[in-house]
Amino acid sequence: MNDFHKQLKDYLDFLKYQKNYSDLTITAYQRDIEHFLLYLRTEGIESLDAVEYVFLRGYLTQLYQENLSAKTINHKMSSLRGFYRYLLNQELIHDNPFLLIDSLKEPQRNPDFLYIDEMTDLLDSIETNTPLGRRNQAMLELMYASGLRCSEVVELTIPQIDFYRHLLLIHGKGQKDRYVPFHDYAAQCLKDYMETDRLELMAKKHLDHQYVFVNKFGGKMTNRGIEDIVNRVTQKYDATKKIHPHTFRHSFATHLLEQGVDIRVVQELLGHSHLSTTQVYTHITNQHLKEVYDHAHPRNK
- Among the listed residues 173, 205, 224, 232, the single catalytic one is 173
The active-site residue out of 75, 250, 255, 272 is 272
Ramachandran angles phi, psi of 214, nearest 5°: -125, 160
- Is 274 among the residues known to form the active site? no
**Identified catalytic residue from 11, 86, 144, 281:** 281
User: Of 76, 134, 249, 250, which one is the catalytic site residue?
Assistant: 249
Residue 36 CB contacts under 8 Å (≥ 6 apart), including other chains: 59, 76, 80
Among candidate residues 76, 149, 250, 255, the one labeled active-site is 149
**How far is CA 68 from each of CA 24, 39, 213, 241, 277, rounded to the nearest angstrom?**
21, 16, 42, 19, 30
288 is annotated as an active-site residue: no
105 is an active site residue:
no
246 is catalytic: yes
295 catalytically annotated:
no
DSSP 187-212: HHHHHHIIIIIHHHHHHTTT----BS
Q: Are the C-beta atoms of residues 89 and 210 closer than 8 Å to each other?
A: no
181 cis-preceded (ω within 30 degrees of 0): no
Is residue 84 annotated as part of the catalytic site, yes or no?
Answer: no
Q: Which of 19, 246, 288, 295 is catalytic?
A: 246
* DSSP secondary structure letters along 134-193: HHHHHHHHHHHHHT--HHHHHT-BGGGEETTTTEEEEE-GGG-EEEEE--HHHHHHHHHI
Catalytic residues: 149, 173, 246, 249, 272, 281
